[in-house]
Amino acid sequence: MTATDRSIELINAAAQAAADRLAHDIIAYDVSDVLSITDAFLLASAPNDRQVKSIVDEIEERLQKELGAKPVRREGDRDARWILLDYVDIVIHVQHSEERVFYALERLWKDCPEIALPEDALKTRGKAEEHAQLNGGTEGDQS
């Protein structure tokens, strides 16, 4: 089984929204063969809590406005270190860069096929590392 066209449409819109808000290291996986509860995961990160929230807000607004999609669940708002948006067909994880490294969700899903993303989203790969180097190797919370 592969992710549905609707799931791919949602993933691409969410990835573009995240890229527009300067998310780092955007990647999506088709998890439909290993999970029955969703088709795809989108992962993105940001160097501070404020930006994590901004990315999530933009994704939610864009999916609602362009595709009429609302999340059935939104978790993690209070600390904004890892916010999850559950759209049933897809699940979006926007993490603080430190959480992204610590939890390494890519390691868990690396055997699943990657979903092709818009060019702007692909350009975000490696941005977290660049940001860390520019800021003296640390990514402290700047919110």
Query: For residues 29 and 113, is the Cβ–Cβ distance under 8 A?
Result: yes
Query: For residues 95 and 103, is the Cβ–Cβ distance under 8 A?
Result: yes
> Which tens digit of pLDDT belongs to each residue from 38-65?
999 999 999 999 999 999 999 999 999 9
> Which tens digit of pLDDT belongs to each residue from 103-120?
999 999 999 999 999 999
Exposed, middle or buried: residue 105 (CB in 10 Å: 0-12, 13-18, 19+)?
middle
Q: Where are the domains of the chain?
A: 3-123
Average pLDDT, the chain: 91
Q: Compute the average pLDDT of residues 11-39.
A: 97
The pTM score is 0.88
- Architecture of the CATH domain 3-123: 2-Layer Sandwich (3.30)
